[in-house]
Amino acid sequence: MTIKIVMDTDPGIDDAAALTMALNDPQIELKLITSVAGNVTVDKTTKNAQKIVRFFNKKVPVAAGAKQPLIKEFEDAARIHGESGMPGYEFPEDLPKPLDVSAVEALRETIMNSDEKITLVPTGSYTNIALLFSEYPEVKDHIERIVAMGGSLGKGNMTSAAEFNVFTDPDAAKIMYHAGIPITMVGLDITMKALLTPESLAKLETMNETGKMLHDIIIHDGDNSDQGIAMHDVNTIFYLLHPEAIKTEKMWIDIVTDGPAIGETVGDIRGAYHDGKTNANVCVDIDAQAFNEWFLEEVSKINK
């Protein structure tokens, strides 16, 4: 039985790796890719999504989404992902055309026309998701769950408080977390533990053409250390396929939408302030070795 998903994404190096897994794992049926401004501008994130689809000769449609956050001024992450968002590899230029409808319209059509409930996997800012829920609230009943990369119970990576995706559009994050749909928060609490190690990265280069492509873009990722490189967005796909490798805790998550802590995801870790209610399943720990082994195994199985 396959998991039917839609990915709302802002490629981005780790997004490209997440798309690679979602496009090729037989347990996942990727119905639609929607792009959003985030790591780079939306014209670039759309093109980068198209590049990954074209690289694997898949027929998954791509729809361009929001150019800017709902309210907050847009700030990209080109300092981490490069000006193009996906440097280091020469992709084909004969790209499939994006859909001639917006991401929001494509999301609505895909969700409402699916014979099974859809799992939403946002790995960029949540602007498209917020617009979808605001304009077409009826889609909520047709969504199984949301598995979202973003947030942190501890230290951020944009400020000491805020993680990038939530920081980019905190108002959208607030709408998504208050939508009443089951949400799993795949945040820095695990993504900074499950680093792709230097040993794993070295193995990628000679594995196959997919491995070479991933190696060549990952080495340009500015989010790295001697211990490895954070593959933030790939953790969403790993969670979908191997939830047993990730520890989660249910709690209420509030989003800070202004002030110096803008973009912070505040977890009610004691269950003290919301009458025992929760709105998120928060990932708090991960088997980093299992993540690395799975990453390499997934790539090795790709026939390219």
Which of the residues are catalytic?
232
Query: Cβ(2)–Cβ(27) under 8 Å?
Result: yes
Helix axes 170-177, 127-135, angle to 10 degrees: 50
Q: Where are the beta strands (DSSP E) in 139-210?
A: 143-149, 183-186, 195-196
Q: Which two tokens stand for residue 1?
A: 């039985």
Identify which of 163, 160, 149, 191 has the alpha carbon closest to the alpha carbon of residue 285: 191
Burial class (CB in 10 A: 0-12, 13-18, 19+), 255: buried
Identify which of 77, 43, 58, 37 has the alpha carbon closest to the alpha carbon of residue 304: 58
List, in order, residues 6 or more apart from 43 with CB less than 8 Å away: 64
Identify which of 198, 229, 220, 227 has the alpha carbon closest to the alpha carbon of residue 80: 220
Query: Cβ(69)–Cβ(110) under 8 Å?
Result: no
Give the other-Cβ count within 10 Å of 201's Cβ: 21
Q: What is the DSSP string of 204-218?
A: HHTT-HHHHHHHHHH
CA distance 145 to 24: 21
